């Protein structure tokens, strides 16, 4: 069987080798670089493992007559034409939640960097726009920093089945001192997210508002944002995603506090988890009951997967928490890397393809004193996903 996979899905080769050895099935895995496989690769593919950069539509599927299975190592699915996939008779899977921790860490790192730069954390409310996996992960970490977090999610509110308190008060979002976007891209329907932050919404943001987008680029109207910042450069904006990827706005870049090349979810655990989850889904569809190496085993093969140990003799202030977050993942390095290259699609894709995947906050182990015994600190450290042990232990 011929399997085709994005070159940036780590350990898929070793996992496929395990499957071939245990099952006795002849499996051939070929990788493709860039955004799209070649026509020759598509013609041979029986199963394909992709990421969000590969756009799957009827035109691509027409080049893959043998394809019967498609998997995307992503939360979002807007890069896949669901109607075309269904018409082609494919089994399709995504991996919701696979990089939620990484995106939550990204937002926490952005908040830590901005707070150190501005001399303090936001005193007003923090709005999480979209209470899915990544939104909850981001909100959890921001609450651990000591911020007052609320969740805007009208579709989830209508379902009425969430254990998380959500609301549909858009004005409350616009009045918040910090806003972090975590919604899928929806152009139509009762709750569209395309240009959710248009000129009208952006005009209502108070000076000093922190605006972070780690969801989909077109959620923020890029030209409207540029116009606002050119007229009033009074917002602290962090963009990981761009409306016209892989082309980023050279005009907008100088006005942003932090800018990165769509890597919010690119932790080592997130990328390994994508490979591992997709292959498990493929095994299930093939009715193969095999035992893959655990994610912990895979993580242990990499320096980024190792535990980081710190000692904390006294309760940390917000500055210390910020420095710990940046020790695990420092968003400022990714910002510097993006600004150091020309604003071209080739450079954007190169930064993503050559990205040195990072650790996650849950790999930070704190050796603490009695201060961490309080319920409040236990809750905050758990929200930040730090692992703790008393110094006596």
For residues 185-208, give the mean pLDDT. Answer: 96
Mean pLDDT of the chain: 94
Distance between CA atoms of residues 326 and 320, nearest Å: 10
Nearest to 147 by CA among 285, 370, 322, 331: 322
Residue 393: its pLDDT value, please?
A: 44
Higher-confidence residue of 388 and 91: namely 91
Report the range of poorest mean pLDDT among 186-190, 247-251, 259-263. 186-190
Q: What is the pLDDT of residues 255-283, one digit of tens each?
A: 999 999 999 999 999 999 999 999 999 99
| Active site positions, annotated | 216, 245, 262
Separation between Cα atoms, residue 41 and residue 47, nearest integer Å: 11
Q: Given this model, what pLDDT does residue 163 score?
A: 77
Residue 125 has pLDDT above 50, yes or no: yes
Query: Per-residue pLDDT averaged across 141-166, rounded?
Result: 92
Q: How many residues does the chain have?
A: 393
Mean pLDDT of 28-41: 95
The helix/strand/coil state of 363 is helix
**Residue 367 pLDDT > 80:** yes
Beta bridge partners of 259: 239
Q: What token pair was written down for 52?
A: 């969000």
What pLDDT is stored for residue 66 in this prediction? 97
Rounded to an integer, what distance in angstroms lies between the CA atom of residue 327 and that of residue 358?
A: 11
In this structure, the number of other CB atoms found within 10 A of the CB of residue 303 comes to 8
pLDDT of residue 390: 61
- Whether the Cβ atoms of residue 15 and residue 273 lie closer than 8 Å to each other: no
Nearest to 272 by CA among 2, 14, 4, 3: 14
Question: What 3-state DSSP class applies to 236?
Answer: strand
CA distance 232 to 131: 30
Round to whole Å and give the CA distance between 241 and 174.
20
Please state the rounded mean pLDDT for residues 377-392.
Answer: 86
Query: What global pTM score does this model have?
Result: 0.92
Q: Which of 56-60, 257-261, 293-297 has the lowest mean pLDDT?
A: 293-297
Given this model, what pLDDT does residue 78 score? 86
What is the mean pLDDT of the segment spanning 17-27?
A: 94
The CA distance from 284 to 306, in Å, is 30
Q: List the strands of the sheet with 308-312, edge to edge.
A: 308-312, 364-368, 387-390
Q: Is the pLDDT of residue 171 over 60?
A: yes
State the helix-helix crossing angle for 375-383 and 133-144, rounded to 10 degrees.
140
Q: What is the mean pLDDT of residues 308-329?
A: 94
Residues 6+ apart with CB under 8 A from 152: 127, 128, 129, 130, 131, 166, 167, 168, 169, 170, 172, 173
Nearest-CA neighbor of 149 among 186, 183, 111?
Answer: 111
Of all residues in the chain, what percent carry a pLDDT higher than 70? 98
Residues 387, 29: Cα–Cα separation, whole Å: 37
- pLDDT for res 391: 55
Question: Given a cut of 50, is residue 83 above it in pLDDT?
Answer: yes
**Selection from 332, 309, 313 nearest residue 386 by Cα:** 309
Q: What is the pLDDT of residues 95-121, one digit of tens each?
A: 988 999 999 999 999 999 999 999 999
């Amino acid at each position: 069987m011929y399997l085709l996979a994005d070159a940036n899905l780590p350990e898929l080769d070793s996992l496929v080798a395990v499957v071939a050895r245990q099952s006795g099935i002849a499996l051939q895995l070929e990788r493709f670089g860039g955004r799209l496989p070649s026509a020759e690769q598509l013609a041979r593919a029986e199963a394909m493992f992709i990421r969000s950069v590969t756009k799957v539509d009827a035109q691509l599927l027409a080049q893959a007559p043998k394809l019967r299975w498609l998997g995307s190592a992503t939360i979002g699915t807007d890069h896949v034409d669901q109607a075309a996939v269904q018409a082609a008779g494919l089994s399709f899977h995504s991996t919701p939640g696979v990089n939620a921790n990484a995106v939550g860490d990204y937002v926490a790192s952005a908040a830590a960097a901005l707070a150190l730069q501005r001399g303090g954390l936001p005193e007003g409310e923090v709005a999480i726009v979209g209470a899915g996996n990544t939104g909850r992960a981001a909100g959890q970490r921001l609450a651990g920093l000591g911020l007052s977090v609320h969740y805007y999610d009208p579709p989830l509110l209508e379902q009425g089945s969430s254990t998380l308190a959500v609301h549909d008060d858009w004005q409350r979002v616009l009045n918040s001192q910090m806003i972090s976007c975590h919604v899928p891209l929806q152009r139509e329907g009762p709750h569209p997210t395309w240009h959710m932050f248009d000129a009208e919404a952006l005009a209502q943001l108070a000076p000093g508002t922190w605006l972070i987008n780690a969801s989909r680029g077109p959620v923020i109207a890029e030209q409207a944002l540029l116009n606002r910042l050119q007229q009033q450069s009074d917002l602290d904006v962090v963009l990981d995603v761009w409306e016209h990827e892989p082309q980023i706005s050279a005009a907008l870049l100088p006005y942003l506090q932090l800018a990165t090349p769509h890597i919010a979810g690119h932790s080592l655990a997130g990328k390994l988890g994508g490979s591992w989850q997709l292959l498990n889904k493929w095994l299930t569809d093939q009715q193969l009951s095999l035992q893959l190496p655990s994610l912990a085993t895979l993580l242990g093969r990499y320096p980024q997967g190792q535990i980081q140990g710190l000692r904390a003799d006294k309760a940390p202030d917000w500055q210390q928490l910020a420095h710990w977050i940046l020790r695990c993942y420092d968003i400022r390095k990714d910002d510097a890397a993006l600004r150091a290259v020309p604003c071209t699609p080739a450079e954007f894709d190169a930064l993503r393809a050559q990205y040195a995947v990072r650790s996650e906050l849950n790999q930070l182990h704190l050796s603490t004193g009695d201060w961490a015994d309080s319920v409040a600190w236990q809750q905050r450290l758990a929200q930040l996903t730090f692992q703790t042990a008393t110094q006596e232990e």
